[in-house]
Chain A
Amino acid sequence: MHLSFLFAAFTVVWGGVLAYVLSLAKRNRELEADLIDLRAMVEDRDKRHRDSA
């Protein structure tokens, strides 16, 4: 009976840490996508500058 409480405590701790690490990884993937968008925006702006010149 008491072993189930021990198991529950470990599950909560490791589940919580894992969920946080996964959310951090997701945020980093979103940042990579933002960076790609930003690079495209800069390239587009530079191209327009060149065309107008």
Chain B
Amino acid sequence: MSREGTQSDNIAAAAVAISMLVALYFVLIAVPNDAYQGPVQRIFYIHLSMWLPTFAAFGIVGVSSMLFLWRRDRRWDHLATSSAELGLLFCTLGLATGCIWAKPIWGTWWTWDPRLTLTLVLWMIYAAYLLLRSLATNPDQGAVLAAILGVSGVVDLYLVNRAVYWWRGIHPAVVVNKGGGSGLQDPMMRITLGLCMLAFFLLFSWLLRLRVRTARIEDDIDRLRHEVLSAV
């Protein structure tokens, strides 16, 4: 790797670390307790921050899968696979933190609310996407089938976003509530949420960059190995 590449990696890692520390300070110390939910409401800042990377990641999967199907350029496939992996990570963490928040507030870990159910479907779509990639006996065919699944998953992404407005459920609309205003009344709460979202988005961007690079090297090594073995 070039010296500039290593330097920019170090700068990106430092930016992620600093933004995470600032976000943690705000979530754990600076922001006031919610009057009704108490300290458990602080889970919301990290729970909500998982969804920006999740939506961005699955959106990237949709666009890059479409470009892969159109151009058949392996670089788009690398981006789609890497993004799906990270999207699934953040989606899992978002679902897990949601369950942890729900237990003391709703009295149950899980309920079949429209948004929760559609999010679980979203998780399953991209888990299937990654399974398809890893289990395909023909990698090229697996890449095409996964790309089709990756594009179709975007429909569910839109449904997850709209679910709290279209159907009756108990999932709260926090950032923009049903009346159009913000669900967070205190300005410090909005600042904390913004900082937390920024920190996790930077983490996602940094991990995506590392993961795409790994995917490209894996592909190069596979191709070289194939060339060497076929020449022997």
A24 in the interface, Cβ–Cβ < 8 Å? yes
Q: Is the CB of A9 within 8 A of B207?
A: no
**Chain B 189-232 interface mask (CB, 8 Å, partner A; 1/0):** 00000000000000100010011001001100100110011011
Q: A1-B104, A13-B93, A27-B214 are in contact. Are A21 and B228 (CB under 8 A)?
A: no
What residues of A have a CB within 8 angstroms of the CB of B86 in the complex?
20
B101 in the interface, Cβ–Cβ < 8 Å? yes
Q: A8-B100, A34-B221 are in contact. Are A16 and B89 (CB under 8 A)?
A: yes
Q: Is the CB of B46 within 8 A of A9?
A: yes
Task: State in angstroms the CA–CA spacing of A35 and B47 once bound together.
Answer: 40
**Chain A 12-36 interface mask (CB, 8 Å, partner B; 1/0):** 1100110011001001100100110
CB-CB nearest in chain A for B231: A45
CB-CB nearest in chain A for B222: A34
What residues of A have a CB within 8 angstroms of the CB of B231 in the complex?
45
Task: State in angstroms the CA–CA spacing of A32 and B39 once bound together.
Answer: 46
Q: What is the number of residues of chain B that contact chain A, defined by CB distance less than 8 Å?
A: 32
Q: Is the CB of B218 within 8 A of A6?
A: no
Task: State in angstroms the CA–CA spacing of A45 and B231 once bound together.
Answer: 9
B115 in the interface, Cβ–Cβ < 8 Å? no
Which residues 20-65 of B sit at the A interface, judged by CB distance below 8 A?
Answer: 38-40, 42-43, 46-47, 50
Task: State in angstroms the CA–CA spacing of A2 and B214 once bound together.
Answer: 40
Q: Is the CB of A9 within 8 A of B100?
A: yes
Which residues 24-53 of A sit at the B interface, judged by CB distance below 8 A?
Answer: 24, 27-28, 31, 34-35, 38, 41-42, 45
Q: Is the CB of B218 within 8 A of A5?
A: no
What residues of B have a CB within 8 angstroms of the CB of A8 in the complex?
100
Task: State in angstroms the CA–CA spacing of A3 and B232 once bound together.
Answer: 63
Q: Which of A2, A16, A20, A38 touches B224 (beta carbons < 8 Å)? A: A38
- How many Å from the CB of A28 to the closest CB on chain B? 6
Which residues 76-110 of B sit at the A interface, judged by CB distance below 8 A?
Answer: 86, 89, 92-93, 96-97, 100-101, 103-104
3 interchain residue pairs of minimum CB distance: A2-B40, A9-B43, A9-B100
- Which residues of B are interface residues toward A (Cβ below 8 A)? 38-40, 42-43, 46-47, 50, 86, 89, 92-93, 96-97, 100-101, 103-104, 203, 207, 210-211, 214, 217-218, 221, 224-225, 228-229, 231-232
Q: List 17 A-B contacts (CB under 8 A).
A: A2-B40, A3-B39, A6-B43, A8-B100, A9-B96, A10-B46, A13-B93, A13-B97, A17-B203, A20-B86, A20-B207, A21-B207, A27-B214, A28-B214, A31-B218, A41-B232, A45-B232
- Which residues of A are interface residues toward B (Cβ below 8 A)? 1-3, 5-6, 8-10, 12-13, 16-17, 20-21, 24, 27-28, 31, 34-35, 38, 41-42, 45
